Amino acid sequence: MKKKIEILAPAKDLIGGMAAINAGADAVYIGAPLYGARSNATNSIEDVAKLVEYAHLFNVQVFVVVNTILYDNELEDCRQMIWKLYDVGVDALIVQDMAIMEMELPPIVLHASTQANNRDADKIKFLKDAGMKRVVLARELNLHQIKEISDTADVELEFFVTGALCVSFSGNCYMSVANGERSANRGSCAQNCRLPYNLIDGHGETLIKNSHLLSIKDFDVSDQIPNLIEAGVISFKIEGRLKDIVYVKNNVSYLRQKLDAFLEGNDKYTKASSGKCTYTFESALDKSFNRGYTDYFVNERHQSIGSWESPKSKGQYIGKLIKTTGNAYEIENGEFLNNGDGLCFINENNEADGIYVNKVENGLAYPNVLKEIKPGTFIYRNNDAAFIKIVEREDSAVRKISTTLLLTENENGFELIATDEDRNVSSVKLVHPKERTKNNESIAENFKINLAKTGFTPYTADEITIMFSENWFLPISKINEMRRTVFEQLSKIRLANYRRHEHQLVKTSHPYPETKLDFMYNVSNKLARKFYERHGVTEIEKAFELQWDPGKSRVMTTKYCIKYELEKCPKYHPNMEGRLKEPLVLKQGELEYKLKFNCKPCEMEIWEKDAEFEIEEDHFH
C-alpha cells in the first residue's frame, strides 16, 4: 500500500482552518479553549466541532494543540476538555506534558509536540512504546539524524517545512519567564529573542550595537521534501497559528503544488486527503511574511542564519533604488509595484525602515513620506496590496471532490447515481411518467449541462453518462432537484463513512533512557512525575517555572551560534584573525545575558548575568 504524505496547516480559528483546507491542506492543527502554546489563538469546542465536520468531508484530519505544561490544579479541567474534543470528532491531540499520558482518556490518538524536544532516537522510541502515534521532530535535526530516528523508532514523523523558527530548542526556552513571568511553556512567550541587543566582550568593549542578535531567519525546506520523505517524514508542518489567512493560503497552496508534483506517478507515496484545488493566484513564499529564509541545519551548518537588522518581515526583493526624483522614487523593476504596497529597506543606521506607496505612475513610486534613501539600497516589498486583495477572496482557492454521474431509468421513472473519487455512492430515485421528447430528439446534452452545474457544492461532475432506452423527456427543474439531492446525500454519506483512527492508551513501565531529569524536562505536576517514576526515573527536578533562581539561571540552549555568525568559530573558521575575549554578553537596557559556547555538541547557552560557569577552551587549533 502507498504511504500517505501530508501537508499540515495551522488554523488560528474556524475561518482560517476552512481556508487552509480549501487551499489543499491534508490536516490542520488548531488551539482548543485552553492549554495551547499560543494563548491568543484559542477556539471554542463548538468551532472545533464545525471545523472537524468541514475537514472530514475532504478526509482531512483535525489535530488539537494541548501543548503547554500543566499545573496540578489544571489536570482535571484538561482531562474533561480532552473528552469533549474526542466527542466532537477530533483526530488527535498534540501534547507536551507527560501528565496527559497518565490520565484516564478516551481512545484518542496522541502526538508528541515539538515542545517535548524530540531530538534523540532512543527517547523518541520510548515515546512510541509508551503510546505516542506520532512525534513532531525538533527543527534542529539534519537528514541523517531524521533517518536514524525513523530506522530506530518506527513511529510517524512530522517535521516543520516553512515558517518562523524558535532560536531555542523548543520547550527549553526560559528567557520570557525569567524576564517577567510570561512562560513560553505556558503559552505566552514574550519573544525576547526578537529584541535588539548590544554585544559586549570580556574586556567590556561593545562589539556590536543595537542589533537583533538572537533573531533568525524563517524556515523553508520545501525543496528538501523528497529527501525528507526518503528520510522518513510523512507530515510537513507549516508554522503559524497566529498568522493571517493570506499567509496560510499562500503557504499551503505553494506546498500543495510542490508536493503534488513529487507525488504524481509515484509508486510509493500518495496524498493523504481527497479533492483537487484550483487557485486564482500564483503562490510564492516571499510574498508572505518572512525574515528571509534558511534551511537551518537540515543539510548541516553551512551558512549564516541570523536576521540581525530586523525581526520584521522583509518580504519580496524588488530591486535597487536608482534615484529619488522630486517626491518619488525610481526603483529597478518599479513597474511591478502597485498602489498601496508596503516597501522595506535597511537605512543608514542599519535598521529596517519602511514606506507606504500611495501611487505608482510612469514607473515612479510616490510614498506617503519621502525618506532619504541612498541610491543602490535594496528595496523589498513586504506588503503586496494586489496579491493580498486576490488571495483574501474566498474563491481564490477552491477545493472540489471529483465525481462521476449516471442518469438512468427504472420501472417507475428515473435514477441519478453519483460516485466520488473515494468510491462513495449516492443515488436518488424520481417517480415520474416516461414520455418521449417532442420530435423524439435526444436532449441528453441539455441534461449534461445542468447536471454539471455543481456550483457551491464541494463537488465537480467530471464524467456524466445518460443511459436511456428511449429519448425520454424530463423537466430541467427535476434534473436540478435530483442533482441537488444526490450531492447533499453524498456529503452525509462521506461523513458517515469517515473512519477516525482510535488508540486506547495502556499504561507502560519500560525504562526511560535517563534516570535523572533536570528542569529542562518541564515536570510541573504530580501526574508527569508519576509517569516518569513508573518508567524508572529516580531524580526529577521541578520545572523552571516552579523553582526559578532569579539572575543565575540558564535560560536558553540553542544550535544557533553568535561566534559562527561573526565568523569567529574555531571549528568552522580556523584561519580567523583575532579571537573573541569571553564571556560575551548580550545587553538590552537592564537585561543582561552571558553566552556560553559548548563546542563539542556545537551548541550555545544563554545565562542570566549573575550566573557562574567555566569558559571552555576550544580544542580546534
Per residue in 342-352, pLDDT (tens digit) is 999 999 888 88
> How many CB atoms are closer than 10 A to CB 202?
13
Q: Over the stretch 369-414, which tens digit does the pLDDT of each residue have?
A: 999 999 999 999 999 999 999 999 999 999 999 999 999 999 999 9
Mean pLDDT, residues 331-360 taken together: 92
Separation in Å, CA 1 to CA 227, 232, 241, 256, 370: 20, 16, 33, 22, 62
pLDDT tens digit string along 270-314? 999 999 999 999 999 999 899 999 999 999 998 899 998 888 888
| pLDDT tier, 40 (very low <50, low <70, confident <90, very high otherwise) | confident
pLDDT tens sequence across 460-502: 999 999 999 999 999 999 999 999 999 999 999 999 999 999 9
**What's the CA dihedral at 17, 21, 26, 31 to 10 degrees?**
0
Burial of residue 230, with CB atoms counted within 10 A of its CB: 0-12 exposed, 13-18 middle, 19 or more buried:
middle
Written as one string, the DSSP assignment of 245-292 is: HHHHHHHHHHHHHHHHHHHTT-SSEEESS--EEEESS---GGGSS-S-
Task: Quick: pLDDT tens for 63-92.
Answer: 999 999 999 999 999 999 999 999 999 999
- Report which of residues 53 and 350 the model is more confident about: 53
- Measuring CA to CA, which residue among 425, 420, 424, 413 is closest to residue 475? 413
Please give the average per-residue pLDDT across 325-351, as a whole number.
92
pLDDT digits (tens, 9 = 90+) for 139-174: 999 999 999 999 999 999 999 999 999 999 999 999
How are strands ordered across the β-sheet holding 554-558?
206-211, 197-200, 584-588, 591-598, 603-608, 554-558
Q: Residue 502: its pLDDT value, please?
A: 97
- Residue 128's SS3 state is helix
Domains and CATH numbers, the chain: 3-165+217-273+281-287 (3.20.20.70), 315-392 (2.40.10), 399-497 (no CATH)
pLDDT exceeds cutoff 60 at 259 = yes
Nearest residue to 391 (alpha-carbon basis) of 590, 253, 531: 253
What are 526-584's pLDDT values in tens digits?
999 999 999 999 999 999 999 877 778 899 999 999 999 999 998 899 888 888 999 99
CA angle centred on 615, ends 611 and 617, rounded to 5°: 170
Percent of the chain whose predicted confidence (pLDDT) is above 90: 86
Strands (E) located in 392-486: 397-410, 413-420, 425-431, 435-436, 459-467, 472-473
Tens digits of residue pLDDT in 11-35 = 999 999 999 999 999 999 999 999 8
- pLDDT at residue 213 tops 80: yes
Q: Residue 274's pLDDT is what?
A: 98
Tell me the residue type at 250.
N
Please state, in angstroms and rounded to a whole number, the distance separating the CA atoms of residues 442 and 518.
80
| For range 346-368, the mean pLDDT | 91
Instruction: Give residue-wise pLDDT tens across range 507-524.
Output: 999 999 999 999 999 999
Residue 619: the pLDDT is: 55
Q: What is the pLDDT of residue 621?
A: 45
